[in-house]
Amino acid sequence: MTILLLADHDNASLSDQTAKTLTAATKIGGDVHVLVAGKAAKAAAEQAAKLAGVSRVLLAESDELANNLAEPLADLIVSLAGSYDTIVSAATSVGKNVLPRVAALLDVAQVSEIIEVISSDTFKRPIYAGNAIQTVQASDAKKVITVRTASFASAPEGGSA
């Protein structure tokens, strides 16, 4: 199983949300590849490569990716999706904007704001404004998941992807 993780960054530095999402991704299991998409984002990609659990970093740079607009970013992810079983992102404004588009383009159901990984296809997520916890089993072959990062610790540095 191979997982594509959409990095959350400001082109210059990697957000801690990415390290927390990486922790969730490693619990799903398999190799984790981090996609750093932006403009002049090499520094963020280098930071991603240092995280323990990252096996590969993909750096995509162009003017149209500079502002994290959903349309070009979703198109990029869908073009890469054939090589991945699972696509994950932090449940930030970018992740909440991009991943539903990716799920629609791939014709799969998205699993939103997971707080726990039970197995590679089963997750817990809050519902009813957090008053109840739902266990969800994804039946699609390709999974698109956003992660509520407050529920996961940051992955440590020490990687060499």
- Residue 160, burial from CB neighbour count under 10 angstroms (0-12, 13-18, 19+): exposed
**Is 69 a domain residue?**
yes
**Across residues 75-100, what is the average pLDDT?**
97
Is 160 a residue whose pLDDT tops 90? no
Please report whether residue 159 resides in a domain.
no
Q: Which amino acid is at 133?
A: I
Any domain includes 156: no
What average pLDDT score do residues 10-14 get?
92
Q: How far apart are CA 139 and CA 121, in angstroms?
A: 7
- The whole-angstrom separation of Cα 74 and Cα 123 is 23
Whether residue 26 is contained in a domain is answered as: yes
Within a domain: 160 = no
Is 144 inside any structural domain? yes
Is residue 157 domain-resident?
A: no
In the predicted model, what is the mean pLDDT of residues 78-95?
96
Q: Where residue 130 sits, what CATH number does that domain have?
A: 3.40.50.620
Q: How many domains does the chain have?
A: 1
pLDDT of the residue at 20: 97
Domain containing 76 equals 2-151
| Each residue's pLDDT tens digit, 122-151 | 999 999 999 999 999 999 999 999 999 999
The pLDDT-based confidence of 158 (bands split at 50, 70, 90) is: confident
- Average pLDDT (33-56) is 95
Q: Quote the pTM value.
A: 0.94
The dihedral region occupied by 113, where left means phi > 0, alpha psi between -120 and 50, and beta the remainder, is: left
